[in-house]
Amino acid sequence: MDLKQLRYFVAVAEELHFGRAAKRLFISQPALSFDIRKFEEQLGVQLLARTSKAVSLTNAGQVLLVEARRLLLQASEAERLTQRSAHGLAGRLRIGFVNSMLYRGLPRAVERFEADHPAVEIVLKEMNTQEQVQAILTMQIDMGCAHWGTFPAEVASEAIVSEPFVCCVPAAHPLARRRRIDLRALANEPFILFPRTAAPHYHDLIIAQCVSAGFSPQIRHEARLWQTVVTMVEFGMGVALVPSALRKMNNERVSFRPLAAAALESQVLLLRRADNAEPVVERFARHLTAAAQRGGAD
């Protein structure tokens, strides 16, 4: 089975008429009929039911039509990317990211990189840290922007930015009037926290800091995304500890206050396969590191 045979078959299957399909393919009708018959003999199945008045797809033909379209699309995509690569640095860069990267320079890094490298197509995929590790191992993404974790030897990690956690409270909350919030002041407050399965390291770190301050946090609600956590705080459902980058959400209904004498740090790691030395990965890593350290500012 080759691509020419698939193209010929798809043309006949879509037109359901050998004459129209032959015109579409710019070949003669007898030649097309011969090639389709030879293709059926090669597969050992009948793909088309022919009468003197009509052509229709058999069950096998209907199945092949779906797969043939998919294969031809993949072949076309491979050809397009190959042609783009012939003009310099090109191709597709697949990047996994945790959602807080939207406030840590990722959109600006993508914008600037694409302006400097118009032949590179960037595809972003939101994933948690463990999902990114698995996607890197299975080569579903080329690099990731993640939180702290335990990584296999095949995955290289590099810290690109570190920032403190801050306390997020409703704007009308009495604690919102303080310049800094002592962690002990949250002892009787309902907490909003992400589930441990989403980010075990940070979940345990927050719990441990609260315990060190003399209390166990009252976890009332759980949310997987930082934006959801902040929105729940906005509705007065509790308080939360969040990375300071979330201040860029510019939500006037919540207040972000620094923590007094707390050692909570949110770190962003750049992940990639340890054996990945692709120039496009290295170049984007430099763009992202610069943007993250600027905090996404121009």
Beta strands in the chain (DSSP E): 48-50, 55-57, 91-97, 120-126, 143-146, 155-170, 181-182, 190-193, 218-222, 240-243, 254-260, 265-273
Asked whether 284 and 143 are in contact (CB, 8 A), the reply is yes
Q: How far apart are CA 129 and CA 96, in angstroms?
A: 9
State mean pLDDT over 174-200: 91
Does domain 91-154+271-293 match CATH 3.40.190.10?
yes
The kind and range of the H/E element at 266 are strand 265-273
Q: Which CATH class is domain 160-266?
A: alpha beta
State whether residue 255 is helix, strand or coil.
Answer: strand
Name the pLDDT band for 225 (thresholds 50, 70, 90): confident
State how far the alpha carbon of 33 is from the alpha carbons of 22, 46, 57, 258, in Å. 9, 13, 15, 76
pLDDT at residue 31 tops 90: yes
pLDDT at residue 128 tops 90: no
Percent of the chain with pLDDT over 70: 94
Tell me how long the chain is.
298
Fold of 3-85: Arc Repressor Mutant, subunit A (1.10.10)
Name the pLDDT band for 88 (thresholds 50, 70, 90): very low
State mean pLDDT over 97-111: 89
pLDDT at residue 181 tops 90: yes
State mean pLDDT over 126-152: 90
pLDDT reported for residue 87: 45
Backbone dihedral angles phi then psi of residue 241, each to the nearest 5 degrees: -105, 125
By DSSP bridging, strand 254-260 and strand 181-182 are parallel
Q: Do domains 91-154+271-293 and 160-266 have the same CATH topology?
A: yes
The mean predicted confidence, pLDDT, of the chain is 88
What global pTM score does this model have? 0.61
Q: Where are the domains of the chain?
A: 3-85, 91-154+271-293, 160-266
Helix intervals (H) in 86-198: 106-116, 129-137
Name the pLDDT band for 84 (thresholds 50, 70, 90): low
pLDDT tens per residue across span 42-51: 999 999 998 8
User: Six-digit token pair at 214?
Assistant: 């003399």
Name the pLDDT band for 298 (thresholds 50, 70, 90): very low
